[in-house]
Copies of this chain bind each other. A is one copy, B any other.
Amino acid sequence: MSTAIPSVPAATSPSATVHIDLGERSYDITIAAGLLADPASFDGLPRAAVAVIVTNTTVEPLYGQRLRDCLAGRFPAIHTVVLPDGEDHKDWNTLNTVFDALAAHGCDRKSVLFALGGGVIGDMTGFAAACFMRGIPFVQVPTTLLAQVDSSVGGKTAVNHPAGKNLLGAFYQPLQVVCDLSTLATLPPREMSAGLAEIIKYGPIHDMDFLAWIETNLEALRAGDTAALAHAVRRSCEIKAEVVGADEREAGLRAILNFGHTFGHAIEAGVGFGVWLHGEAVGCGMVMAATLSQRLGLVDAAFVARLRTLVERAGLPVVAPRIDAADNEGRYLELMRGDKKSEGGEIRFVLIDGPGRAVVRPAPDALVRSVIADCCAAG
């Protein structure tokens, strides 16, 4: 079908809006290429005297000015807080530097924070917004694939503590999530792969048709094809929206979104935060969780092999690291017992209860140990 050339650049690519339904805390995720080239992307926001962009040293030179240009007509004062890049700065002290900046810039309860960056920036900015004056508005502008499909959606905010990843945080929803697919063009391949892990995740836990679509379109996704990315981001956000809408505060169902994360968090903590990317640990963790599901008789070996193949094709590790020379399995168990989902020292695993369906349950230590031993690199 032949049509006139659209006048708005953002509309030249596939675009979508996913609605997160949480009553008075509802909001939209807008997904398209070029959103940061168009001030209209932020038309739904309230006006305020001050906007503060929180970003990092990597993203600021790439997209800081573009976002400031978008916001210039809406906020008389726009300040930018540039944090050091990386998971090892996602802590209590860095969070405090954000508060110092907000106070120094005279922010009030109507000031709007913008999280411009990946998952670390989004988690920290959201937590800062949750705490400052007991809660001020914030907007997620995720610039990594992982943040666009997972961490920027659903209102989980946090910083790490030496005793555990994301140990301190809040459930706090943004006003809006703006996913500009164009920002993925500058994303290093390793981080694209990390984002694919969270996309793949939605298949085994909820939608095997989507898993099949990913298998078919994996090369297009890794090559940064906008149409493929638009579909993957939208479908991921739709599934997340459905789960979060049913269980905002992780009383039950929402925990299935942590498929691969229990083993994954142990990997991240075991090798030291920042050595493995979160998505890499989740990718490997999914293979481990699927293996545990198989040993419990929930799925067959073909399912595990299929998932393992896809994770590997996505450029993600499928062999877990050894994290303790003397007692590798024991160290994994110890770290998993410290996970937020543990209760009374019992680890709650997200397992696959048949393809496309997740279940949260404990598992015998001996079985978990055998899975760790078999999934880890030779000692």
Contacts and interface: CB of A to CB of B under 8 A. Distances in A.
A131 B169 contact: yes
Most chain B CB neighbours (cut-off 10 Å) among A99, A134, A156: A134
B343 A163 contact: no
A158 interface: yes
Contact of A342 (B108, B130, B341): B108
A128 B250 CA distance: 19
Copies of chain A in the complex: 2
B170 A130 contact: yes
Nearest to A342: B108
Contacts of A96: 92
Interface residues of A, number: 40
Interface string A71-108: 00000000000000000000010001001100110101
Given A161-B99, A167-B103, A170-B170, A344 B156 contact: no
A164 interface: yes
Contacts of A276: none
A341 B133 CA distance: 9
A286 B171 CA distance: 36
A271 interface: no
A110 interface: yes
A345 interface: yes
25 contacts: A49-B345, A92-B96, A92-B99, A99-B167, A103-B167, A104-B163, A106-B338, A106-B345, A108-B343, A108-B344, A108-B345, A110-B344, A131-B131, A131-B168, A131-B169, A131-B170, A132-B167, A132-B168, A133-B167, A134-B157, A134-B158, A134-B166, A134-B169, A134-B340, A135-B249
